[in-house]
Amino acid sequence: MKTTSKKLLSVLLAVLMLATTAIPSFAMSDIAWDLVWEGEDAEAGIIMFVGSDETERNFSWYSDTQSEPYVKIAKDVLMLSSSTFKGTSVAAPDGDYANKVTVSGLEEGTTYFYQCVSGDYTSAVYSFKTESGTDFSAMYVTDVHITQNDDTKENSLKETSYRFSETYEAALSQNSDISLILSTGDQATEGLESEYKAYTASPLFKSVSISTAIGNHDRKGVAYKTFTNMPNEDTETSVSSYVGKDYWFVKGDVLFLIMDSNNGNGADHAAFIERAIEANPDVKWRVMVCHHDLYSGRIPHRESENKLLRMIWGPIADEYGIDLVLLGHSHYYTVTNVLYNNKNVTDFAPEMVDPAGTVYMVSCSLGRPRDDEEIGLNEWVGFDYLTENATYNVLDFTKDSITVNSYELGEDEPFNSYTITKTTNNGGHQETGALQSLWNGFVRGCGKIYALFNNIGVYSDLKEDGYDVDFFDCVFGK
Ligand SMILES: [Fe+2]
Ligand SMILES: [Fe+2]
C-alpha cells in the first residue's frame, strides 16, 4: 500500500474511532472491514492490554525495524498537550520486533487519546476511557481461535478475525459500557504471529482493555511470548511455561488472577496467588481466569487429564476464596453448582448469595462452537447449554455482585443469566483445614515435578516445528 493511501486510511480510522466513542455499537460494513484489514495499524497489531490497575494500560505492537517505541497520550483529540511514555523493543520470532509500552498515572473517569509510535510508524489516533468507582462491565469470550492455516473461507484468518470483532459489536449493543475483554485462551490456533496480529485487527479493540489467558494452542508456537505485555507477571516461579506466566490486575473491587493452566506447577501457582492477595488484601472479589475446562466432563476422553487438573485447581480456588472461575478449552457451555473440595455444596441458581465455595463457568468457543460430539456431563454441572453458534458473555461487576448474561451471537435475549452476591468481603467462603493443606502441598509439589517433564516435551515439540529455543529456557520457563 502506498504511503499516501496509508495516511488517508489512518485518518479514516481516526474518524471511525471517534464515531465509535460516540456510538459504541456502530456496525462495521464489509468495505470498512476490508479497509481495516488492509490498514497499517492491523499490520502492526496494536493491542491495549490491561495495566496493573485502572491507572495503567499496557500496549504492544509489531514493527519491521527496531527503535525505541513510545505511546503519545493526551486528553484532547488534537493531542496538543500530550505526554510520552517510552518502552522497549524485542526481536519477535518471525523477524519483526515487538514493541511494549506501559502508560501509567491515568486519572479516573477520563477519556484519553493515544498514538503508538516506533521508527517512522505512527498509528491513527485512538481513544479509551478510564473507569471510576467499583462498577464496570466486561465481555468474556473463549477459544477465539484466530486461524492462519485453514483454507476454507469461513475459517480464514480474515474471517476468524472478523468474527471476533463482530462478537464484540454484539456485546456492545447489549451493554455499551463494556471496558474490559476477558479472553480465556486459544486466542490463536497455531500460535503464530500472523494470528495474534489478526486477533487485534478490529479498531473497536483499540478502545478496550484486553486480558488474555494462555491456552494450549497459544503455546504451539512461541509468538505469544512476544505478543503479550502483561502487568504483575510472576517473576518468582522456578518452573513455568516458556511462553506464558501467571499475572494479576485489579479493576473496580475485583482482583483478577490470570493463570496458566498448561503449567501443572501447583506449588508456584498457589504461591503466586498468595502474593497477589497479600498485595491486594482489601479487594473484595477474586476472579480466577484460566484455560482448561475442569468440571464439565463434556469431552469424556479428556477426563483423566481433567481429574489431575481438578486436584490442582479445585483446592487452590477453595483455599484462596475464589468467587468465580472463568474457563474454556472444551468449547461447550456449562456452569457448575457451587463447589468446595471438588464436591457440590449448593445447586446452581439464578441468584446465589454468599456461596460457600466457587462457581466455575466454561463459555462455548467463539470461533469453533461444538454441539455434536462427545457430550458427556459430570455431576458438578448446574447449568448446561448446547449450541452451534458463537457465544459471548457480558459480566456486570458492582461492589456487592457479579451478574453474568450469556448470549448466542445474533440473539438479543440471554440464554442464561445468574448473579453471585456477597454481603461481606469474605462472603460464605470456608477455611481450609490443616490436613487438607498438607495434602494440597504434596499434590502441588508433584505438579511441579510433572510440569518440568511436560516442559521437556514442549521443548522437543518446538524444536521439531523448527523453533530456535534454548533447552533450559524452555524447561524452566525463562
Ligand atoms: Fe480451543
Ligand atoms: Fe484449548
Grid cell for residue 174? 447489549
The residue out of 109, 129, 149 marking a domain boundary is 129
Question: Tens of pLDDT along 347-386?
Answer: 999 999 999 999 999 999 987 777 667 789 999 999 999 9
- Average confidence (pLDDT) over 2-27: 49
273, 409: one domain: yes
Q: Is residue 467 part of a domain?
A: no
Tell me the CA–centroid distance for residue 306 and ligand 1, in Å.
15
Tell me the CA–centroid distance for residue 291 and ligand 1, in Å.
9
Q: Is residue 430 part of a domain?
A: no
Q: Is residue 28 part of a domain?
A: yes
Tell me the CA–centroid distance for residue 328 and ligand 1, in Å.
7
Radius of gyration of the chain measured on its C-alpha atoms: 21
Neighbour tally for 467: CB within 10 Å: 17
Phi, psi of 313 (to 5 degrees): -85, -35
180, 121: one domain: no
Using CB atoms within 10 Å of the CB of residue 291, give its burial: 0 to 12 exposed, 13 to 18 middle, 19+ buried.
buried
pTM of the entire predicted model: 0.94
Q: Is residue 444 part of a domain?
A: no
Tell me the CA–centroid distance for residue 184 and ligand 1, in Å.
10
118, 141: one domain: no
63, 211: one domain: no
- CATH number, domain of 364, equals 3.60.21.10
Mean residue pLDDT of the chain comes to 93
Using CB atoms within 10 Å of the CB of residue 4, give its burial: 0 to 12 exposed, 13 to 18 middle, 19+ buried.
exposed
**What is the domain extent for residue 121?**
3-129
Per-residue pLDDT for 287 more than 60?
yes
Domain count along the chain:
2
26, 148: one domain: no
Q: How does strand 47-50 pair with strand 83-86? A: unpaired
The rounded distance, in Å, linking the Cα atoms of 158 and 383 is: 34
380: left (phi over 0), alpha (psi -120 to 50) or beta: alpha
101, 197: one domain: no
What is residue 313's predicted lDDT score, i.e. its pLDDT? 98
Q: In the block, which residue shows the cell 517473576?
A: 235
142, 82: one domain: no
Phi, psi of 395 (to 5 degrees): -110, 125
- Report angle CA 371, 377, 383 to the nearest 5 degrees: 80
* DSSP class of 406: E
Tell me the CA–centroid distance for residue 215 and ligand 2, in Å.
5
